[in-house]
Amino acid sequence: MMRDERLWMALGWIVLALAPWWLPWLGGYSALGTKVLVYGLGVMALNLLLGFAGGLSFGHAAYFGLGAYGAGMTLKYLAPSTPLALLAGTVVGGLAATAFGPLVMRRRGIYFAMITIAIGQLLYFVAVRWNEFTGGEDGLAGFSRQPLHFGGWVLDIRDENKYYYVVLVCFTVAAWIMRGVLRSPLGHTWVAIRENRRRAEFLGVRADLYIWAAFAISGTFMALAGALNALLFNFTSPQDLHWILSGDFVIMIVLGGMRNFWGPLLGALIYIVAQDYLSSVTDNWMTFIGLLFMVIVLAFPRGILGLLRRRGKAAA
């Protein structure tokens, strides 16, 4: 079973590595593949908190947006450096998630979700009102990703195919780190808290501190995804902080399977490809997304990846 899983993993990485070549044959384009990786990274980050630690956040788009604004403002106001922009965006969002963590770590269930929405909307309205720096409702423009310099060699990531590989490298490193965290005692403690918080606390586990850690780590990787997204479109707006985007992230996780590490990536793939295709066919594309979500929730509560794994075990 382990050998089969490694085979599928290797096949998956090969498919991702060759995406700029096979996507056009299917009517796609490199930017679409990049967006799937960016959103896949974001929802995998949120899944650390939702799927493994048991904390339902409807405000995680706030850290996605902070990462985007951090990267965009760095390029526009500080220095034309892509690495610096990515670092700044990640740090800004990560620090914000760490700072707001104590406000949510002792809350449970609906109260946890509501406080995350409140924080997210607070940051959203700051972005809307701070016109001089954020561009207000019109969004932040006037910046663009810059070529990467490696000594005498220059990688011009203004080309969409080359930027795809930059995002793929960031995604790979982030996924490797998140996988390592989940396999560590920290990750196992998150799962214990998710399964039975009261029992974990009875054993001496400071559940609130572990939830804080999950919130901070999740927010940091979400901010990285936001920074990559801002550089993909050379634009960001307050909508990148709105709770509606947070709801979209949760939908992607549920579609793919929140109890699986790679489930959110599959959910992001399905959601974004469906959105790209259906929005070109009808203005009511959200209706079809909603119907798909209802079918998955009612018929396959463990998500599509959970269904595939269950069938694989039955076949074996």
Tell me whether residue 249 is in a domain.
Answer: no
Number of domains in the chain: 1
Residue 312 pLDDT? 60
Q: Are 292 and 256 in contact (CB under 8 A)?
A: no
Q: Are 210 and 55 in contact (CB under 8 A)?
A: no
Distance CA 270, CA 186 (A): 30
**What is the span of the domain harbouring residue 212?**
33-243
Count other C-beta atoms under 10 Å from residue 74's C-beta. Answer: 23
Residue 292 pLDDT? 83
Tell me whether residue 62 is in a domain.
Answer: yes
> Which residues, 6+ apart, have CB-to-CB distance to 232 below 8 Å?
31, 34, 35, 38, 163, 167
Helices and strands, number each (H, E), in the chain: 15, 2
Structure tokens belonging to residue 292: 């798909």
Distance CA 66, CA 258 (A): 24
Ranges of residues in the chain whose predicted pLDDT is under 50? 1
Tell me whether residue 24 is in a domain.
Answer: no
Distance CA 133, CA 127 (A): 9
The label of the residue with tokens 């490199």 reads 30
Tell me whether residue 119 is in a domain.
Answer: yes
Residue 2 pLDDT? 55
Residue 1, H or E segment: none
Residue 182 pLDDT? 97
Distance CA 168, CA 161 (A): 11
Tell me whether residue 308 is in a domain.
Answer: no
- For CA atoms 198, 199, 205, 211, the dihedral sign is negative
Q: Are 54 and 197 in contact (CB under 8 A)?
A: yes
CA distances from 148 to 157, 166, 207, 212 (A): 7, 10, 42, 35
Residue 167 pLDDT? 98
Q: Can you give the pTM of this predicted structure?
A: 0.94
Tell me whether residue 84 is in a domain.
Answer: yes
Tell me whether residue 205 is in a domain.
Answer: yes
Q: Point out which residues pair with 154 in neighbouring strands.
A: 149
Tell me whether residue 204 is in a domain.
Answer: yes
User: Which segments within 63-176 are labelled E, that is strand?
Assistant: 148-150, 153-155
Instruction: Give one word for 140, left, alpha or beta, with left for phi > 0 and alpha for psi -120 to 50.
Output: beta
The label of the residue with tokens 């310099």 reads 149
Q: Are 89 and 70 in contact (CB under 8 A)?
A: yes
Residue 314 pLDDT? 52
